[in-house]
C-alpha cells in the first residue's frame, strides 16, 4: 500500500512539474512574441545619405512572404524566405532616391526559379538607367546567383571561391518499386500523352514522351539564360557551353577571371573598401547600408495618391479545395476576387499566378470567378515561375497573359489516382468481408482492386474533365478545339514557346502587366494595391499551424537537401489531394 501511495504521489508531482514546464515555455513564447511585436513596431529605418542598397540572396524565394514572429522564436533553419515583391520594390525606390548611390548584390546559397531571377534582373537593368552602380560579389556563385549578378557593372568572386555553371537537369523520383514491395498498386486514370505527374507511381523511369518534353523545355530555358549572360559578359553562347562542360566550380578563381566570367577576385573586406570608394567616402568612415527589409519603410516618390487603383491579386502555391488563407484555396481566393469585383475604385486587376496546379475542381471554381470579374473590369495575368496545368486553367480566360521566357506553363491535362492496398493487407494478415445494398456501394474501398466497370466509369469521368479543361482554354485563348488539342495533351512549355503557339500574349513581368492593365482600363494615373492583404504579426501568430513548425524543423534537419524535403512533402500531400488533379510533376529550381 505504501508503494501505491508513493507511486500516486510521484505521478501527481510529475504532472505538476510537467504543467509548470509547459506553462513556462508557453509564457516564454508569449512574452517573446510580445517583445517581437514591440520591437518591430518601434523600429523605423531612417535612410542616410550615401547609402548602398544591399540585396542578400539567401534562402528560398517566393512572390510574397508573410512575416511570422512565432516561427522566428523557434529559430529553426537557415532556409529563410525572400520576397520577390520586396526586392523589386526596393530596387524601384533605390533608382529614384538620391540617398541611394548604388546596389550591392551579395549572392549566397539560395533557391529561386529562373523566372523570378529574370524579373529581378530586368528591374536591375531599369535601375542602371539612373547611372548608379551595381556591384556583385559571392564567396560561391550558384547558377542562379551568377545569372542574376551578370547584370552588374562589376562581378567579383572571392579568391578562394567558386562559380557554378553546370547546366540544367531533371531527376524525378519513382515510387513504383517501393509501392510494389509494400503491396500498394496505384490505379491510374489520365488524359494526355505528356501528362507525366503520374509516371512516378506507374513506371520506374521516364517515358519517351516525357523525356521529349523535358528535354525541350530545359534546353530552351538554358539557352535563354546563357543568352542573357552572353549579352552582359560579352562571351559567345557556344563558348559559355564549353566552359560549362569543364565544371568551373572546381577550377581556381583565376580560371573565372581568365574566361571573363568575373572581373576580379577580392575578399569581402576588400569589396567593402571598394564600395566606399564608389560612394566617395574614406576607408575609415562607415559604409551606410540599406537592406531590402529596411527599404520597406522608405517612402516611394513615384507612388500615386489617385483613388483609381489597379489591384495585384497573388495566387501562389498548389490549388486546393478549401477556405484557409494558405496556398490557393478556392473558396478563400474566390472571396478575394469577389471583393475586387465589387470595389468601384479598382479599375483593373493583375492576376499574379505562380502555381504548378492542383485540384481540377477548385481550378474550375476559380476560373468561373475570374470570368465574372473580367465581365466588369480588365484582368491581366502575370505568370510567375509556374502557371501550369491548373495554374494555366485559372489563367486562360484573362484579357491578356504575360509570361517570362522561362516560365513553365501549359500542361493542359488531368489525371486521377486511386490506391489498391489488397496485397499490403494480405501481407499483414488482414481480411475483410462486405455486405452492400447496391452495385457500387463499396466504391472507394482501398482494400480491393477496382472492377473493370468501375475503371471505365472513372476513365470517362477524367476524360469529361479534360474536355471541359480544353473548352475553357480554347474559349479563353480564342483557339479552335482542334488547334488547342495539338498543343495540349499535358505537354509542358516555356513562356517563350507558349508565345509562339498562342498560349500567352506577350513576354514580360509584373510591370508590363500593370501597364497593360492600365491601358485596357483607360487610366494613366493610378495607385497599386496588393491582395490578399498581408496579415499583421498578431494574425500570423494565430494562423501558425503545426505544419509550419514541422516544415521549419525539417529544413533545419535536412539542411540544403531541398529535394528530399520536397519528396517528403509530395508523399504527405497525396492524402490531402482531390481525386482529380490538374498538376505538373516537376519543381525546377536554378541552383
Q: Write out the DSSP string of 409-470.
A: EE---EEEEEEE-HHHHHHTT-------SSTTTTTT-TTSPPPHHHHHHHHHHHHHHHHHHH
Q: How far apart are CA 319 and CA 180, in angstroms?
A: 29
Cell output for 191? 488524359
Q: What is the mean pLDDT of residues 568-590?
A: 56
Give CA separation, 221 vs 63, 316, 317, 385, 484, in Å. Answer: 20, 21, 22, 12, 23
* Cβ contacts of 544 within 8 Å, gap of 6 or more: 68, 70, 71
Query: What is the rounded radius of gyration, in angstroms, for the C-alpha atoms of the chain?
Result: 27
Q: How far apart are CA 313 and CA 333, in angstroms?
A: 9
Which is nearest to 381 in space by CA: 253, 514, 257?
514
Q: Model confidence over 379-389: pLDDT tens digits?
A: 999 999 999 99
Q: Model confidence over 87-119: pLDDT tens digits?
A: 999 999 999 999 999 999 999 999 898 999 999
| Confidence class for position 494, pLDDT limits 50, 70, 90 | very high
Residue 591 gets which letter from DSSP? -
- Write out the H or E segment, with its range, that includes residue 24: helix 2-42
Cell output for 12? 501527481
Q: Report whether 392 contacts 195 (CB < 8 A).
A: no
Mean pLDDT (the chain, rounded): 86
| Confidence class for position 301, pLDDT limits 50, 70, 90 | confident
Cell output for 485? 488539342
Give ∠ CA 559-64-538 in degrees, rounded to 5: 90
Active site residues: 195, 389
> What pLDDT sits at residue 326?
73
Domain 51-166+247-295 CATH assignment equals 3.40.1280.10? no
> What pLDDT sits at residue 515?
97
Cell output for 365? 471554381
Provide the residue ranges of all domains of the chain, joining segments of one domain with +. Answer: 51-166+247-295, 309-583
Give CA separation, 585 vs 113, 145, 173, 409, 567, in Å. Answer: 15, 25, 10, 12, 12
| Confidence class for position 18, pLDDT limits 50, 70, 90 | very low
Residue 47 gets which letter from DSSP? P
Q: Model confidence over 510-523: pLDDT tens digits?
A: 999 999 999 999 99
Q: Model confidence over 156-166: pLDDT tens digits?
A: 999 999 999 99
Domains 51-166+247-295 and 309-583 share a fold: yes
* Cβ contacts of 254 within 8 Å, gap of 6 or more: 265
> What is the value of pTM for the model shown?
0.85
> What pLDDT sits at residue 81?
82
Q: Write out the DSSP string of 343-383.
A: -TTEEEEEEEEEE-EEEHHHHHHHHHHHHHHHTTS-EEEEE
The count of other CB atoms within 10 Å of the CB of residue 359 is: 25
> What pLDDT sits at residue 541?
54
Which is nearest to 142 in space by CA: 560, 514, 581?
560
Which is nearest to 460 in space by CA: 189, 126, 97?
189
Pairing of strands 492-494, 408-410: antiparallel
Please identify which residue in the block is written with the cell numbers 504543467: 19
Residue 311 has pLDDT above 90, yes or no: yes
Which is nearest to 390 in space by CA: 584, 182, 246?
584
Q: H-type helices in 155-250, by residue range? A: 176-182, 199-202, 208-233, 237-244
Q: H-type helices in 234-389, by residue range? A: 237-244, 253-258, 268-279, 292-295, 330-342, 360-374
Q: Write out the DSSP string of 104-131.
A: EEEEEEEE--HHHHHHHHHHHHHHGGGT
3-state secondary structure of 241: helix
Q: What percent of the chain has pLDDT over 90?
A: 71
Please identify which residue in the block is written with the cell numbers 504575360: 402
Residue 508 has pLDDT above 60, yes or no: yes
| Confidence class for position 182, pLDDT limits 50, 70, 90 | very high
Three-state SS string across 489-518, please? CCCEEEHHHHHHHCCCCEECCHHHHHHHHH
CATH number, domain 309-583: 3.90.226.10
Amino acid at each position: 500500500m505504501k508503494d501505491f501511495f508513493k507511486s500516486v504521489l510521484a505521478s501527481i508531482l510529475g504532472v505538476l512539474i510537467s504543467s509548470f514546464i509547459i506553462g513556462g515555455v508557453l509564457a516564454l513564447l508569449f512574452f517573446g512574441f510580445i517583445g517581437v511585436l514591440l520591437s518591430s513596431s518601434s523600429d523605423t529605418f531612417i535612410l542616410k545619405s550615401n547609402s548602398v542598397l544591399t540585396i542578400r540572396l539567401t534562402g528560398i524565394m517566393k512572390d510574397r512572404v508573410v512575416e511570422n514572429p512565432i516561427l522566428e522564436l523557434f529559430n529553426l533553419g537557415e532556409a529563410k524566405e525572400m520576397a520577390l515583391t520586396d526586392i523589386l520594390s526596393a530596387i524601384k525606390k533605390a533608382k529614384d532616391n538620391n540617398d541611394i548611390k548604388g546596389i550591392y548584390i551579395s549572392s549566397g546559397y539560395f533557391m529561386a526559379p529562373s523566372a523570378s531571377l529574370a524579373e529581378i534582373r530586368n528591374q536591375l537593368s531599369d535601375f542602371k538607367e539612373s547611372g548608379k552602380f551595381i556591384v556583385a560579389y559571392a564567396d560561391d556563385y550558384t547558377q542562379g546567383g551568377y545569372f542574376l549578378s551578370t547584370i552588374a557593372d562589376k562581378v567579383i568572386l572571392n579568391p578562394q571561391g567558386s562559380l557554378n555553371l553546370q547546366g540544367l537537369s531533371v531527376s524525378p523520383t519513382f515510387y513504383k518499386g517501393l509501392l510494389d514491395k509494400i503491396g500498394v498498386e496505384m490505379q491510374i486514370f489520365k488524359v494526355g500523352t505528356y501528362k507525366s505527374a503520374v509516371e512516378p507511381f506507374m513506371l520506374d523511369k521516364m517515358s519517351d514522351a516525357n523525356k521529349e518534353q523535358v528535354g525541350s523545355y530545359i534546353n530552351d530555358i538554358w539557352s535563354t539564360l546563357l543568352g542573357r549572360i552572353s549579352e552582359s559578359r560579352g562571351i559567345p553562347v557556344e563558348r559559355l557551353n564549353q566552359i560549362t562542360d569543364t565544371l568551373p566550380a572546381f577550377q581556381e578563381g583565376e580560371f573565372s577571371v581568365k574566361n571573363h566570367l568575373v572581373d576580379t577576385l577580392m575578399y569581402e573586406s576588400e569589396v567593402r573598401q571598394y564600395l566606399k570608394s564608389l560612394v566617395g567616402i574614406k576607408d575609415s568612415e562607415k559604409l551606410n547600408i540599406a537592406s531590402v527589409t529596411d527599404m520597406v519603410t522608405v517612402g516611394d516618390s513615384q507612388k500615386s495618391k489617385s483613388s483609381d487603383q489597379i489591384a495585384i491579386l497573388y495566387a501562389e502555391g498548389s490549388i486546393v479545395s478549401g477556405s484557409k488563407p494558405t496556398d490557393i484555396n478556392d473558396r478563400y481566393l474566390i472571396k478575394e476576387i469577389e471583393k475586387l469585383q465589387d470595389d468601384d475604385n479598382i479599375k483593373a486587376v493583375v492576376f499574379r499566378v505562380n502555381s504548378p496546379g492542383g485540384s481540377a475542381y477548385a481550378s474550375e471554381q476559380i476560373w468561373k470567378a475570374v470570368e465574372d470579374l473580367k465581365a466588369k473590369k480588365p484582368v491581366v495575368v502575370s505568370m510567375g515561375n509556374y502557371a501550369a496545368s491548373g495554374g494555366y486553367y485559372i489563367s486562360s480566360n484573362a484579357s491578356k497573359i504575360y509570361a517570362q521566357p522561362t516560365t513553365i506553363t501549359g500542361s493542359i491535362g488531368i489525371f486521377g489516382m486511386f490506391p489498391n492496398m489488397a496485397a499490403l493487407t494480405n501481407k499483414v494478415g488482414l481480411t475483410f468481408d462486405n455486405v452492400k445494398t447496391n452495385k457500387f456501394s463499396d466504391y472507394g474501398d482501398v482494400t480491393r482492386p477496382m472492377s473493370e466497370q468501375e475503371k471505365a466509369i472513372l476513365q470517362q469521368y477524367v476524360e469529361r474533365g479534360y474536355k471541359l479543361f480544353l473548352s475553357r482554354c480554347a474559349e479563353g485563348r480564342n483557339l479552335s478545339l482542334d488547334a488547342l488539342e495539338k498543343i495540349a495533351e499535358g505537354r509542358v512549355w516555356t513562356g517563350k514557346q507558349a508565345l509562339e503557339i498562342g498560349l500567352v500574349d506577350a513576354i514580360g513581368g509584373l510591370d508590363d502587366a500593370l501597364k497593360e492593365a492600365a491601358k485596357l482600363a483607360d487610366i494613366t494615373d493610378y495607385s497599386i494595391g496588393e491582395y490578399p492583404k498581408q496579415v499583421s504579426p498578431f494574425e500570423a501568430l494565430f494562423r501558425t499551424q503545426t505544419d509550419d513548425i514541422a516544415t521549419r524543423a525539417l529544413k533545419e534537419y535536412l539542411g540544403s537537401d531541398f529535394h528530399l524535403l520536397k519528396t517528403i512533402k509530395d508523399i504527405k500531400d497525396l492524402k490531402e489531394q482531390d481525386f482529380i488533379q490538374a498538376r505538373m510533376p516537376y519543381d525546377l529550381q536554378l541552383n
